[in-house]
Amino acid sequence: MNDLVTEVKNDISAFLEQNNELLFNERDLQMHLAIWLKRIGKYDDVDVEYYVPFEEFGGKYIWESELRLDIVVKKGEEYIPVELKYKTKKVEKKLTRFNEELKREYIVVKDQAAQNLGKYDFWKDVRRIELVRNRFNRVKNGLAVFVTNDKSYLKPSRENSNCKALDMSKEGVHFKHKFWKNENSGCAKGHPNFEVEKEYIIEWKSCFFEGEEFNYCIVKI
């Protein structure tokens, strides 16, 4: 029998691989996934935008943003926090609205670019879940989920890249220290360096939304 975090991880994978609808943005992913987890009837509760005051972490939470977990799954006395990232390249296609196909193509998924910050935000999610797990006895594990149609996230960062330490490729382990190579860069000024508690391995899988190829990884914390 799987433990709860493995059960939730497998269900998230199943959702991503069964979903046939192109998701427009991260909020779209969040709501569709939460509704699906609720509908399958395996969990006692599925909450979204789960607020945790950062003061609870005794100064270990180094960011100015509030801590609102994207999804929290509850079963019995255990909770699994899930953080999501949905980073995209532009997709243009025809839309059907109110059962009527529109005549021209529209940009339905935006080109977000800023891959360096996308990588930073993923590792920030990992660290936030670590903090929650360490603070609350009923949180034993969590999941950081990253979904993208931008293949640059899967490739190793260049050695001289400012975000080399934030690499998300599948090659090798990812070290604990997350930092900007250029400490005077604009990215570094608004996004402080930090450490995660262990070296993580990332495994990427593919899925298709309305014929568009996406890749995803789910990291267990």
| Mean pLDDT, residues 138-149 taken together | 97
Residue 184 or residue 130, greater confidence: 130
pLDDT beyond 90 at 147: yes
pLDDT beyond 70 at 74: yes
Q: Which pLDDT belongs to residue 189?
A: 85
How does the average pLDDT of the chain come out, rounded? 93
**Percentage of the chain lying above the pLDDT 90 cut:** 73
| Residue 14 in tokens | 């199943």
| Residue 98: pLDDT band with limits 50, 70, 90 | very high
Alpha carbons within 13 A on the beta-carbon side of 187: 20
Q: Please tell me the least confidently modeled range out of 136-140, 183-187, 211-215.
A: 183-187
Sheet of 205-209: strands edge to edge?
45-52, 67-75, 78-87, 143-148, 212-220, 205-209
Residue 170 or residue 80, greater confidence: 80
Q: Which pLDDT belongs to residue 186?
A: 83
Q: Which pLDDT belongs to residue 204?
A: 95
| Mean pLDDT, residues 16-21 taken together | 93
| Mean pLDDT, residues 179-196 taken together | 89
Nearest to 21 by CA among 218, 216, 208, 147: 208
Those residues whose C-beta lies under 8 Å from the C-beta of residue 3, and which sit 6 or more positions away, are 141
pLDDT beyond 60 at 27: yes
Both ends of the chain: CA-CA distance in Å? 19
For the segment 34-70, what is each residue's pLDDT rounded down to a tens digit?
A: 999 999 999 999 999 999 999 999 889 999 888 999 9
pLDDT beyond 70 at 1: no
For the segment 75-85, what is each residue's pLDDT rounded down to a tens digit?
A: 999 999 999 99
Q: Please tell me the least confidently modeled range out of 35-44, 145-154, 163-172.
A: 163-172
Residue 154: count other Cβ atoms within 10 Å of its Cβ.
16
> Are the CB atoms for 179 and 196 separated by under 8 Å?
no
Longest dimension (CA), the chain: 56
The b/e string for 38-56 (b: 16+ C-beta within 10 A; e otherwise) is beeeebeebbbeeebebee
φ, ψ of residue 67 to 5 degrees: the values are -100, 105
| Mean pLDDT, residues 182-209 taken together | 91
> Are the CB atoms for 192 and 177 separated by under 8 Å?
no
Query: CA-to-CA distance for 127 and 135, rounded, in angstroms?
Result: 12
Angle at 66 between CA 60 and CA 68, to 5 degrees: 105
Residue 172 or residue 6, greater confidence: 6
pLDDT beyond 70 at 205: yes
